[in-house]
């Protein structure tokens, strides 16, 4: 898979390193000569140019890229790169970094963004996930709000404790994708019995989250 990354700062270089380690081709683009640190990611291709310029993206052969990642520290730049990648080069997958939470509403398909990644929101979700039991925590949003990755740690008094996965009448438009128990990850087999403290990971439609939380939370007695 060929990936172009606009923004060769710490974030962009870290992403590039992971992708290269997984066997992908990576092109780094940045207009700041100080950001061109080829020795830090020697296996990547490098292009010193402005990613907001159409001529730059033509030189980068974006039409051959499977994914474009707009990873600069400027939300305006990330939006422009995303829009050009999608509208001018029909890149199949565009991922954009959101630096300021107030700008999240802009990062939609209208601007060519398939997936937006907000570091502040992810950090907040991870903190909630670490301390919450019985509360549904949204970890990630797919496809502009059509589905979310959510987590719930099963409380000891939850009605589903001891029930097998196959016997639970899960809400419509939800899918249990994994059960994390201690240090082990379990596939949600129908015969797997739920235990207190299980971390349940779901992909769920946003309008089903409340029903899912009510199903798994303790009942008032």
Torsion sign across C-alpha atoms 86, 25, 78, 46: negative
pLDDT tens digits, residue range 14-69? 899 989 998 999 999 999 998 888 888 999 999 999 999 999 999 999 999 999 99
Provide the H-helix boundaries in the chain: 10-21, 54-59, 75-89, 119-131, 209-216
Q: How many CB atoms lie under 10 A from the CB of residue 136?
A: 21
pLDDT tens digits, residue range 138-192? 777 765 557 888 888 888 888 899 999 999 999 999 999 999 898 888 989 999 9
User: Does residue 10 carry a pLDDT above 90?
Assistant: no
Q: CATH 2.160.20.10: does it fit domain 132-216?
A: no
Q: For residue 216, which of 170, 183, 147 has the smallest C-alpha distance?
A: 170
User: What CATH fold (topology level) applies to the domain 2-117?
Assistant: Rossmann fold (3.40.50)
Q: pTM, whole model, 2 decimals?
A: 0.63
Q: Is residue 184 packed enough to be buried (19+ CB in 10 Å), middle (13-18) or exposed (0-12)?
A: exposed
CATH 3.30.70.1450 boundaries in the chain: 132-216
User: Does residue 99 carry a pLDDT above 70?
Assistant: yes
Contacts of 172 (CB under 8 A, 6+ apart): 205, 208
pLDDT tens digits, residue range 12-25? 998 999 899 989 99
CATH 3.40.50.720 boundaries in the chain: 2-117
């Amino acid at each position: 898979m060929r990936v172009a990354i606009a923004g060769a700062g710490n974030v962009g270089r870290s992403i590039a390193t992971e992708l290269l380690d997984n066997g992908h081709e990576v092109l780094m683009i940045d207009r700041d000569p100080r950001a061109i640190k080829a020795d830090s990611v020697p296996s990547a291709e490098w292009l010193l140019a402005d990613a907001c310029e159409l001529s730059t993206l033509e030189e980068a052969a974006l039409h051959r890229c499977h994914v474009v990642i707009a990873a600069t520290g400027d939300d305006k730049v990330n939006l422009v790169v995303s829009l050009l990648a999608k509208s001018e080069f029909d890149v199949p997958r565009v991922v954009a970094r959101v630096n300021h939470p107030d700008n999240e509403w802009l990062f939609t398909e209208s601007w060519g963004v398939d997936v937006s990644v907000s570091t502040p929101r992810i950090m907040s979700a991870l903190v909630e996930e670490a301390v919450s039991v019985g509360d549904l925590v949204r970890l990630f949003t797919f496809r502009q709000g059509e589905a979310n990755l959510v987590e719930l740690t099963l409380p000891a008094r939850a009605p589903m404790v001891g029930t097998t996965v196959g016997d639970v009448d899960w809400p419509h438009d939800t899918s249990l994708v994994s059960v994390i128990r201690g240090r082990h990850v379990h596939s949600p087999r129908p015969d797997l019995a739920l235990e207190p403290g299980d971390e349940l990971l779901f992909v769920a439609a946003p309008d089903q989250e409340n029903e899912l939380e009510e199903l798994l939370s303790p009942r008032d007695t």
